[in-house]
Chains A and B, each alone.
Chain A
Amino acid sequence: MTPETITAPKQPRSWRRIRARARWIIPTTALTVMVLAAFFAPLPFDPDTPAQGKTLVPPGSEHWLGTDKFGLDVFSRLIASAGLDIPLAITGLIVSLALGVPLGLLASQRGRWGESVVRVLDVFQAFPLLILAIAVVALMGNNIQNVVVAIAIINVPRFIRLVRSEGLTIRESRYFEAAEAIGVPNHRLMFKHMLPNMIGTILSQASLAVAHAIVVIASLSFLGIGINAADASWGAMIQTGAQSMTTGQWWASVFPGLAIFVTIMCFNSISHCLQENFGRAKQL
């Protein structure tokens, strides 16, 4: 039984509680700054123009993070990559959600259709996903659109399953039964009664998926496929700097690696926050 207690005058809603949490403000700010800097900030050096004669310069006052074997400034290139890798990952996820969420909602309906969908996905997801992504890009061509397709192929099944699973749970809830008893039509049931109650979990998983997508993009560009090899991308930077590692010039590879690490941590942190605050509605 719920005790009849007087709660605090006006409990902050989920939004306000989130705002109070620095835990997501810091990562979100960091990511935004990185992406905006890539597009708008004046970088110390042109990321695509090598500095003559200044190859493999260690980090110092002129080149903050050093230069790579072509003479390109690591720092500028690092920031420029953020403008490619992060938006690409996010775009991939947006496409995945746009396809996966509605399909997942449909799959959560009563009937055997949903079950069949899951069986198909089982087969599909049995493939190692990175290999799948490589296969897609290799077969379909080396451009940005195909990278997005590859990310979508990896994530759409994931979200169909997630949304279906959440949907099935919500269908068992009392408020869903109440909505059916009111006579709410199917489409409204899905978008007004189911979706808002799973959005927290979806966004939380989406954030984790973006982090994973960053790794996929980096892996693809490390292998030299997926995007134009000359474009600034963390994976490609790691590639060009890899050989120099053995001769002691670590900065060209390590910094892009750190950048990937930090970006992933940011998205994980955001995911955690989303799950905590939007995950399940609480009786205060």
Chain B
Amino acid sequence: MPVLTLKDIAKEFVIGGGQHVYAVDEVSLSVEAGQTLAVIGESGSGKSTLGRLALRLLEPTRGSVYFEGRDLADLDARELRRTRERMQIIFQEPFESLNPRLTIADNIAEPLVVHRGSMSRAARHRLVEETLDLVGLGADMARRYPGELSGGQQQRIGIARAIITRPSFVVLDEPTSSLDLSVRAQILKLLQRLQSELQLAYLFISHDIHTVRYISDQILIMYQGRVVETGPTEEVFASPQHPYTKALLASALSINPDETPPPLSLGGDLPTPTKKVVGCVLQPRCPERIDQCASKVPLQLIGSDHEVACVHVEPATTSLKESTL
């Protein structure tokens, strides 16, 4: 059973001028224990909003969030708070996500104070030290303050805080984007090690294609709040189907100067969010746009788990679907 499932999640915001904007529109996904589902998109894609919805830090306008089999909507405020012991989030900004007036130890121990009230101070202290060790930091860090640490160290603290109650699900919102190149690799490897040791399910939000390919098992590509393509990472990278996916992958620049990127297919800028669009969201920019794109374009299964929302794609025949069951 997947640890987290989102079904037809949508989130509507009302912005200035009474306009209704769908930050997230009809998104479904599921994440298994020990697996990483990456959500990739640019600004306005709704990926950060999706991460908050998955933890019910935001209330969805429509749709459901199932965590460990239970619909989070069925929980009252107190039960929801208690469930947070098992689902956590790591943020993009290492320094800003830590309380600057609390020591490192207090920052990391906060989930324990909240959820394991019966724990003695000594026991908490021990667990904090163990967790510091787990994220590769020395116990002497405990008494320092966030402002004294480097970005990489701060992010490790954020990770320590997220895993101290041994959650089963973690949302990672661009955890390495604010870090230097040489530090990113450290953090990615740490995250992988923790995932396998603690069998964590990761929802990994990112805009960096190299990172996403490296760390994820499944991938979900979002554009303007909708899913345009989803599937096993390697398969999507090997044969991207949606024009947006192709453009996105093409924008990842290879560090081998002999590998020139494919020509640009997508012109124009990212649109500002407007009213709900009927039909495909990529219409204004898509080089392969046809009349059919103006009507509703659903996600269609084209391979095992590989789904694409594009009119040019042939859905898998029923025989293929049956054989994958």
Bound together, the chains give a CA A11 to CA B57 distance in angstroms of: 36
Binds B, one of A27-35, A176-184, A207-215, A258-266: A176-184
Complex alpha-carbon distance, A32 and B83, angstroms:
52
Interface residues of B in 10-60 (CB under 8 A from A): 55, 57
A179 adjacent to B110 (CB under 8 Å): yes
A6 CB to nearest chain B CB (Å):
8
B residues near A1, Cβ cutoff 8 Å: 151, 178-180
Q: Which of B102, B115, B154 contacts A183 (CB 8 A)?
A: B115
Measured CB to CB, the nearest residue on chain A to B101 is A196
Q: How far is the CA of A131 from the CA of B43 in the complex (A)?
A: 54
Q: In the complex the two chains form, is B57's CB within 8 Å of A177's CB?
A: yes
- A52 CB within 8 Å of chain B: no
Q: Is the CB of A247 closer than 8 A to any CB of chain B? A: no
Contact A184 B110 (CB under 8 A): yes
State which residues 182-199 of A face B: CB under 8 Å.
182-185, 188, 192-193, 196-197
Does A13 have its Cβ within 8 Å of any Cβ on chain B?
A: yes
Please determine whether B145 and A184 come into contact, CB atoms closer than 8 angstroms.
Answer: no
- Give complex CA distance A78, B151 in Å: 55
Quick check: which of A58-66, A238-246, A276-284 contacts chain B, the rest being far away?
A276-284
B151 CB contacts on chain A under 8 angstroms:
1-4
1/0 per residue A119-141: CB within 8 Å of B? 00000000000000000000000
Q: Produce 1/0 per residue, B122-147, CB < 8 A to A.
A: 00000000000000000000001111
Report whether B84 and A181 are in contact in the complex, using a CB–CB cutoff of 8 Å.
yes
Q: Are A4 and B114 in contact (CB under 8 A)?
A: no
Tell me if B89 counts as interface (CB < 8 A to partner A).
yes
Q: B99, B145, B154, B182: which has the most chain A beta carbons within 10 Å?
A: B99
Say whether A178 contacts B101, CB under 8 Å: no
Q: A177 contacts which chain B residues (CB < 8 A)?
A: 57, 91, 97
Does the CB pair B150–A5 fall under 8 Å?
yes
Q: How far is the CB of B118 from chain A (nearest CB, A)?
A: 16
In the complex, what residues of A have CB within 8 A of residue B85's CB? 183
Q: State in angstroms the CA–CA spacing of A6 and B182 once bound together.
A: 15
Q: With the chains together, A10 CA to B141 CA distance in Å?
A: 11
Q: How far is the CA of A13 from the CA of B81 in the complex (A)?
A: 33
| Cβ B110 vs Cβ A11 within 8 A | no
Whether B202 is near chain A, meaning CB under 8 Å from some CB there, is no
B111 lies within 8 A of A182 (CB): yes
A283 to B145, Cβ gap below 8 A? Answer: no
B96 x A173 contact (CB < 8 A): yes
How far is it, in angstroms, between the C-alpha of A11 and the C-alpha of B180 when the chains are bound? 23
A113 contacts partner chain B, Cβ-Cβ < 8 Å: no
Q: Of B80, B97, B114, B154, which is within 8 A of A178 by CB?
A: B97
- With contacts A181-B55, A182-B84, A284-B148 taken as known, whether A174 is within 8 angstroms of B91 at the C-beta atoms is yes
Residues of A within 8 A of B182 (CB): 4
Within 8 Å by CB of A181, from B88, B96, B102, lies B88
Q: Is B62 an interface residue (CB 8 A)?
A: no
Q: Does B185 contact A (CB under 8 A)?
A: no
How many angstroms between the C-alpha atoms of A1 and B96 in the bound complex? 12
Q: Write out the residue numbers on chain A whose beta carbons fall within 8 Å of the beta carbon of B180.
A: 1, 3-4
On whether the beta carbons of A7 and B111 are closer than 8 Å, the reply is no
The verdict on B69 contacting chain A, using a C-beta distance below 8 Å, is no
Contact A284 B57, beta carbon cutoff 8 Å: no
Q: How far is the CB of B285 from chain A (nearest CB, A)?
A: 31
Which residue of the partner chain, among B57, B95, B102, B146, contacts A196 with CB atoms under 8 Å? B102
In the complex, which residues of chain A have a beta carbon less than 8 angstroms from the beta carbon of B178? 1-2
In the complex, the answer to whether A183 meets B99 with C-beta atoms within 8 Å is: no
Known A4-B180, A174-B96; contact A184-B150, beta-carbon cutoff 8 A: no
Whether the Cβ atoms of B114 and A11 lie closer than 8 Å is no
A11 to B143, CA, bound (A): 12
Flag if B100 contacts A281 (CB, 8 Å). Answer: yes
Tell me which of A3, A281, A284 contacts B101 (CB under 8 A): A281
B98 within 8 A of partner (CB): yes
The answer on a CB contact under 8 Å between A4 and B150 is: yes
- Chain B positions within 8 Å of A173 at CB level: 96
Chain B residues in 8 Å Cβ range of A193: 99
When the two chains form the complex, which single residue of B84, B110, B150 contacts A2, counting CB atoms closer than 8 Å? B150
B91 to chain A, nearest CB (A): 6
Measured between alpha carbons, how far is A276 from B183 in the docked complex, in Å?
Answer: 32
Tell me the A228-284 residues at the B interface (CB within 8 Å).
281-284
For B231, what are the chain A residues with a Cβ–Cβ distance below 8 Å?
none
Are A197 and B152 in contact, CB atoms less than 8 angstroms apart?
no
B8: CB under 8 A from chain A? no
Residues of B near A281 (CB, < 8 A) are 100-101, 145-147
- A39 interface residue (CB < 8 Å to B): no
Q: Is the CB of A197 within 8 A of B100?
A: yes
The 5 closest A-B pairs by CB, nearest first: A281-B100, A183-B84, A2-B151, A174-B96, A196-B101
Listed by A's residue number, 13 A-B pairs whose Cβ atoms lie within 8 Å are A2-B178, A3-B180, A13-B145, A178-B89, A178-B98, A178-B161, A183-B81, A185-B114, A197-B101, A281-B100, A281-B146, A283-B95, A283-B146
* Residues of A near any B CB (own CB < 8 A): 1-5, 7, 10-11, 13, 173-175, 177-185, 188, 192-193, 196-197, 281-284
Contacts A1-B178, A2-B151, A181-B89 aside, 18 further interface pairs with beta carbons under 8 A come to: A2-B94, A2-B95, A3-B151, A174-B91, A175-B100, A178-B89, A178-B91, A178-B99, A178-B161, A180-B57, A181-B55, A181-B88, A182-B111, A182-B161, A183-B85, A183-B115, A196-B99, A197-B101
